[in-house]
A and B are shown apart, each in its own frame.
Chain A
Amino acid sequence: MDEIAKPDQLLEKLAADLEQLLDQRNIDDPLMVGIHTGGAWIATILHAKLGLSRPLATLDISFYRDDFSRIGMNPKVKPSSLPPQVEDKHIILVDDVLQTGRTIRAAMNEIFDYGRPASITLACLVDRSGRELPIQADVIGQHLHLQGNQHIKLNGPEPLGFIVT
C-alpha cells in the first residue's frame, strides 16, 4: 500500500488546486456542497480556506442510493441543506473518499432534483482504486492504490484522520 498523507496536508493541496481550477474556469461565486458525513467535514474546512461568500450546503444521499433495496433505510439519515436556487449555479461537490463513484452518481441525481446547475466540479480528498462508474474527480488530494478488500475511512471531525483496514 502507498503511504497516505495527513488530512491537513491533503486539504492544503486540495484548496490550492481548487482555487487554481476555479480561476482557470472563471468561476467566481461557486456553491460548495459537502456530502454527509466525511465530505461535509472536508467542505467546511475548504469553504473557510477559499473564503467563499455563498453559504456551505450539505447533502445526504441516503434517499438516492442505488443499494436501498439491499441495505435498507439508513437510520441516521440527515436532512440535506441544499438551497433552492441551484439553478445556473457553479457547484463544487466535495467528498472525502472517491471509490466506486456511486455516491457521486446519487449526489448528482439529488442536485438535479433541486434544479439545473451551470456546472459541477468534483473535489475529493482521496481517490482510491475501485471505480465502478465512469466518474472522475477534478481536484484530488492524493491517489491511493488499495486492494479490493481494503477499506479507508475518514474519522472526524476533530481531529481528522484516516483509518485503513
Chain B
Amino acid sequence: MVNKPSRQTDPLIGKDSWNIQLDSNGRLKHFLTIEGLGSEILSNILDTAESFANVNEQRVKKVPILRGKTIVNLFFEASTRTRTTFELAAKRLSADILNINISTSATSKGESLLDTLQNLQAMLCDMFIVRHSDSGAAHYIAGIVAPHISVINAGDGRHAHPTQAMLDMFTIRRKKGHDFGKLRVAIVGDILHSRVARSQIHALNILNTGQVRVIAPYTLLPTDIDDMGVTVFNDLRSGIRDVDVIIMLRLQKERMQGALLPSEHEYYSLYGLTEERLRAAKDDVIVMHPGPINRGVEIESRVADGNRSVILDQVTYGISVRMAIMSMVLGREPEQNEAEANP
C-alpha cells in the first residue's frame, strides 16, 4: 500500500506541504493535494460521491446538508467546467456560493491578496475554492486564513488539481470496477505543465493501479518523472498497447516558454490520438480528457466523440465528486480551537 510518497519533499511546494490539509483526527480540513493522503480517504471520497450521484438523479437535485454555509469561488485563472461544477455542487448541497471575478474585483485596483481574503473572511464565509496560476497558491491561502475556514484547491500552477484527479478516479471506477490492480492506465501528452497529470499519478498509485504509464516527448516530461512511480514511453503506439484507460492531456500552449515542440502539427502526427492508433489499446479501452479539448491537436474528433470516449461522463461525475469533497471537508466535528474561533 502506498500511503507515503517516496519523496519527502514536494519540489514545487516544499517539505510536508500536504500535512496542513488534515486535522488532528486525520480527516480532511482542506483539500489541497492528493499527495500524502491514504487510500482510505480516497476510497471514502469515491464512496460518498457514489451516494451523491443518486441525489443528482432525484427530481429535486438538492440535499439540505450544507444549508447556511457560505462558499466562495476564488478563481484567479479562467475556468468554465471546474468553476461551474463547483458552483452546481455547492448549490445541490444547499450552500450559498459567491463567484468572485478577480479580473473585475478590487485586486485589479491594487488590493493585495491578503486584504481580499480578510475582507471575504469578514463576510463570514466557510470555504474558499481557489484556482491560481502559481503553484502553491492554495497552500499559501490555507496557511493564512482563519482556523474555521477550509480551502479547496481547484488547480494551482503546474502543481496539483486534486478534485479533477478524484473525478477521474471515480470515472475509472465506474467504468472499470473497483480493482485498480488489474488496470493499465496511460497518461498522454504535456505531463510537464499538467497539474492534472501530477494529481492523477499520485491518486492512481495510492489506489494501487497495476501500471501507470506516461507517454510524452522528453521535452514535455518533468525532470523528477523517474521518482513518480510511472513507466515512461516516448512512443504513443507502444505506450497505449493493451491499456485499459487512456487519459489525454491538453497541450498547454499558454504555459509553454521556449521551443519545447517543433509545431502543433508535428505534435499531432506523433502524439495525437486517432481512431487508427486507438486499435493498439484494449477493445474496451476508455478515453478520458480533463478538458478543454483541442480537436486536431491532441485528439481526433472521431475519438473525442466516439463510443469509447467518456469525456462528458467525467463532467457529470465531477458534480458528485465535488459534492462529496465539500461535504466531507465542511462536515467534520469542529475541533476545539476551531469551535472557539467560530462559536
Contact A73 B60 (CB under 8 A): no
A78 contacts across to B, CB distance below 8 A? 51
Is A162's CB within 8 Å of the partner chain B?
no
A79 contacts across to B, CB distance below 8 A? 50-51, 53-54
A105-137 with Cβ < 8 A to chain B: 109-110, 112-115
Instruction: Considering the complex, give the chain A residue whose CB is closest to the CB of B69.
Output: A69
On chain B, the number of residues with a Cβ less than 8 Å from chain A's Cβ atoms is: 23
Is B57's CB within 8 Å of the partner chain A?
yes
The complex places the Cα of A73 from the Cα of B48 at a distance, in Å, of 9
Contact B59 A113 (CB under 8 A): yes
The complex places the Cα of A19 from the Cα of B62 at a distance, in Å, of 34
**Which 5 A/B pairs are nearest by Cβ-Cβ distance?**
A73-B331, A63-B63, A113-B60, A72-B331, A79-B51
Is B64's CB within 8 Å of the partner chain A?
yes
- Pull 22 A–B residue pairs with CB atoms less than 8 Å apart, ordered by A: A63-B65, A70-B333, A73-B65, A73-B328, A73-B331, A73-B332, A75-B44, A75-B48, A77-B47, A77-B51, A79-B50, A79-B53, A79-B54, A81-B54, A84-B57, A109-B64, A110-B63, A113-B59, A113-B60, A113-B62, A113-B63, A114-B60
A70 contacts across to B, CB distance below 8 A? 333
Partner-B contacts on A (CB < 8 A): 60, 62-65, 68-73, 75, 77-81, 84, 109-110, 112-115
Contact A80 B62 (CB under 8 A): no
B55 contacts across to A, CB distance below 8 A? 63
Contact of A113 among B47, B58, B327 (CB under 8 A): B58
Instruction: Considering the complex, give the chain B residue whose CB is closest to the CB of A78.
Output: B51
B332 contacts across to A, CB distance below 8 A? 72-73
Q: How far is the CB of B93 from chain A (nearest CB, A)?
A: 8
**Residue of B47, B50, B57, B65 with most chain A CB atoms under a 10 A cut-off:** B65
Contact B65 A114 (CB under 8 A): no
A77 contacts across to B, CB distance below 8 A? 47-48, 51
